[in-house]
Chain A
């Protein structure tokens, strides 16, 4: 774990080097004003933040001999770039004399940064002793010539990635009002032959972990709102039954094994209910299950296929797929199943609704010219926009917990990929690629 503190001078953080206990103590700097006006990064007019990141200053380095000055700046640049909200200014353009400059406002020549187009500037320093590492990071507003935020972190050499990730989160928080999704994971299905299992991977593409090992077909993972459980469907007992797995102790519990399909939709925001698709009553209908009492409530009564239910963030409405109009389309209904409204009209195949945690958009996949593409639309079906366009199939969109990104899967050219992109369809990044089949991504909540 990384310990981080705010501090104005390098002297005080040296004392923190020896600390290994986790402690969070944020001392806000006096000029980190309370009434902050954030830039609306979701506006179509948003221009990426132009930011310069200087190689970190080495105070002292003993023990670990790897290069760290450039590593810190490059890694921070990588994380900021990942968000899609930053334009990283090339180090080759830098003109400020680093021998003269320091980490303080007074020792920074903001004119030298403004002239190369930087509106934001990051400077940092580090020192290491054995396996201990301390770092200090400062974010400056170049135009105003002031510090926006500054943090110090102490930990082990191997924690350095987390230090940078945390500071990237601080930068996002300071500029956009939300620390982003650096600490989140994406669960997905990886097929191997006739079987499949759930895996997770971090938002930054690191740490691929196997979650289930059930020697059967395992499908459709969904996170609980606290990130402590994943629901899924598995054929481990022959029938597609519904299970919940505890992420901490790995316990797998069977939740529903009715005749036919037992599929989980999304969890309620209090984590007490699950939306389900069951076919026990003759055809696929949508239900809620109270996880405490296991009591079912049936919401749809229609001879057509009703499947893939997803709650709105306030749990007042439910998006779902139905072919009641002849082809699969997205509908919404009230929490009790009444007041059904059709959301999609374009094309003859729209499925996989995912409701943005911000509440205003529903993402789905639609078929255009024989290819599946990701779309998002307002919850009344207005201003639908296509987000992917290339010649592959894009499926199963899942929103990030901050509502700024979508995870999805692609199939094309014999490759199966798990990708993330910004909510506007830009900045597509591949997290995992396989030949055997990777699909059904589900974005975790922010895991504390």
Chain B
């Protein structure tokens, strides 16, 4: 019986000890845990904040870069377009003018055509229509022929300057489509012209 009691006592002690140990351990680890947890939490919080900040910074940076990229891309896209349009407009806003009943190119006309040829050679996706025109004096029919000569003369020169003739079309409107409908020398000067129209292929 004594032995039984002793065993019970030992077991009890063990249990107690175990419990003590367990609780003691538990206590200790609990604090420790707590401490670690706080540290960790702080660290985690700190890390998170940092990560967040980093992420934000990265995002910001990315956004900035993306925006920059977009801007660059847009710029890359728009700038040549705008430039091309501006150039195209410059190229086609200049008419080549002629003397009365003449279709030979004047020196200033050759300059205009040189610029146009250079532009056409750099913009191979574009095709050119040359419209030959005359002033109102003289016959419809002779002026249709003269307008055609004016357009073809410019075309010939552009081909000499290396532009593929297949990219150029000509049409004569004779005296029928005056730029300035007035019946003055000034209007006639403007109306004896080759007009250029550039379009994409």
A contact set with B: CB distance below 8 Å:
189, 191, 194, 196, 217, 219-220, 238-240, 260-261, 263, 277, 279, 283-284, 305, 307-308, 321, 323, 327-328, 348-349, 351-352, 365, 367, 372, 393, 395-396, 411, 414, 439-440
Contact = CB atoms under 8 A, between A and B. Distances in A.
B145 interface: yes
A220 B141 contact: yes
Contacts of B173: 217
B138 A240 contact: no
9 contacts: A219-B176, A238-B171, A277-B141, A284-B145, A284-B148, A307-B142, A327-B101, A352-B142, A367-B138
A352 B148 contact: no
Contacts, number: 80
B44 to A, nearest CB: 76
Contact of A277 (B136, B138, B145, B149): B145
Interface in B63-101: 101
A48 B120 CA distance: 68
Contact of A349 (B101, B140, B152): B101
B137 interface: yes
A261 B139 contact: no
Given A307-B145, A328-B142, 12 more contacts: A220-B141, A238-B171, A260-B172, A261-B145, A263-B144, A284-B148, A305-B142, A305-B149, A352-B139, A393-B137, A411-B136, A439-B140
B145 A220 contact: no
B195 interface: no
Interface residues of B, number: 22
A217 B172 CA distance: 12
Nearest to A195: B176
Contacts of A411: 136, 183
A395 B139 contact: yes
B142 A261 contact: no
B128 interface: no
Contacts of A238: 171
Interface of B: 101, 136-142, 144-146, 148-149, 152, 170-174, 176-177, 183
Contacts of B138: 328, 349, 351, 365, 367, 372, 395
Contact of A307 (B136, B141, B152, B183): B141
B177 A194 contact: yes
Contacts of A196: 176
B101 A305 contact: no
B176 A217 contact: yes
